[in-house]
Structure 1
């Protein structure tokens, strides 16, 4: 994962808080005099293109329409966001589904309100000049990966589905922030990363075209990032439903206007990627919103069969030890409608 340093200058709140607890609870009043619930959303990481819909929804007052005054906070990885959400340190989180599954497996009281990235962005990424066209071309290659993360855990399944053994490929354990540098320097032939994140960054840094072998195009798909909430927030059923619907509508709006959505991120971080990278990250992300089971439905509307498939994949990968019913992971009653 490319380095995203300390977040400064998140889009400033336009509303003055009348009350605010540690977790952001309380209320504010809009310019029109409407009472709003003050809500915190902690991202999976520091802002990048995937997060544009949240900033755009805030700018376009979609959250305000649903009675929400949204504060967007940077995260430090999906696992930490799951932990913070379960502990009630943030009202909502944006996190990878494998981290959610693992958290529930460990007893963290958190559920998904809807997965938005329903086609995994997991991929093997490399410069076009490497001449890699199919999974078979990975044989004998060295790939940068991070031990223990979802990508490295599912890569053996990807290899197996494409007729390869783990011994056919060398995975070099690399710090998340160092994977791009490993490829650019030639220390590795490729990296395990997300097509909606590292790829556009690597292409921009190196000035070379990046190509992908996407897991989803080679026999392996599972859920990725989505909206989550802990027990405290889920107890406020009306708020959870309003937030899920506001997020869904924000993604719909961003899908129709990706350039303005990216522009809405201005000031989100001093280390925000260049606009061309943000744009490519968002455009790629927008291709991940549905599976065959959810085509034509609102962003964030899930299918139980897709949840079961995801749980099965991560049980096989060893990230879930005691698989539970879908309802233990997904609060379907609070999910986006449509």
Structure 2
């Protein structure tokens, strides 16, 4: 189960299915759209699906609340969280956000960590006005001029907004101001790990191999998504989304490794950031959230 309906970030799953990569690893894969990372995480924990693709802050918060899942590999290791705006807005750096109205969505990871972004950028929380808007409405709020910018995932939202508005987009990533934490990755239930760890390893390896293949053939990866979902974006948007995703697949600690290879230092950093933001409990150990025994071997 994906975290949302299919967008460019998900191209590797469809490409891996089309190219027989999952089959080669003994996986008969069915891809289902999601309705948010929380619902995906809970579906995995309840055994409704075997594996999920979900945002790490949401996964970790659910684990703290008793949902019996584990991460078996984060793939988006540089956060896509960013403040996004039109290129002609006059915003050139974080200091220009002072005095602006910014769309946020209560409870999601980019919004919950937004105060940490402001602090890292040298701004106070009251330097900006936050307008709480549901996730589905933020794009239109920016396009209609109701807000000056929005907080969310730039690799997903900015290409869509640019296509809808005909205007170019720009953004300031949280990582640009030195704030980074893990984002989307592969999860499974603790019951699945106990019942058949070989399948978990095979799924992790197949996903890693599919990401490698899709990274090497972006056009082919995006083409494999055609007709897969009625809500899917046009190919140019999907391609931009996937190419932007490629830039998020590693950190300095995992650079040069196959996709899905996680460094313990990055896990520790992510746990610290998310605890500081109040998303997860303080003092959590890496092994509470991540099973390192399924490191991809491809």
Indicate the residue corresponding to 1:125 in structure 2: 84
1:1-338 alignment, distance < 5 Å: 42-235=1-194, 236-337=196-297
Deviations 1:250-282 (A, max 9, x none): 000000000000000012111210111000000
The number of equivalent residue pairs is: 297
* Aligned 8 A contact 1:105 1:322 in 2: no
Indicate the residue corresponding to 1:37 in structure 2: none
Q: TM-score, normalised by structure 1?
A: 0.87
- Aligned-residue offset at 1:186: 0.5
Q: TM-score, normalised by structure 2?
A: 0.98
SS in 2 for 1:245: helix
Gaps of 5+ in 1: 1-41
Gaps of 5+ in 2: none
* Aligned 8 A contact 1:193 1:199 in 2: no
Deviations 1:204-223 (A, max 9, x none): 00000100001111110000
- Structure 2 distance, partners of 1:158, 1:46, is 28
SS in 1 for 2:200: helix
SS in 1 for 2:155: coil
- What is the alpha-carbon root mean square deviation over aligned residues? 0.8
- Runs (4 or more) in structure 1 with deviation over 2 Å come to none
| Larger helix share, 1 or 2 | 2
- Structure 1 distance, partners of 2:136, 2:261, is 32
Greater relative contact order: 1 or 2 (C-alpha under 8 angstroms, separation 6 or more)? 2
* Aligned 8 A contact 2:111 2:152 in 1: no
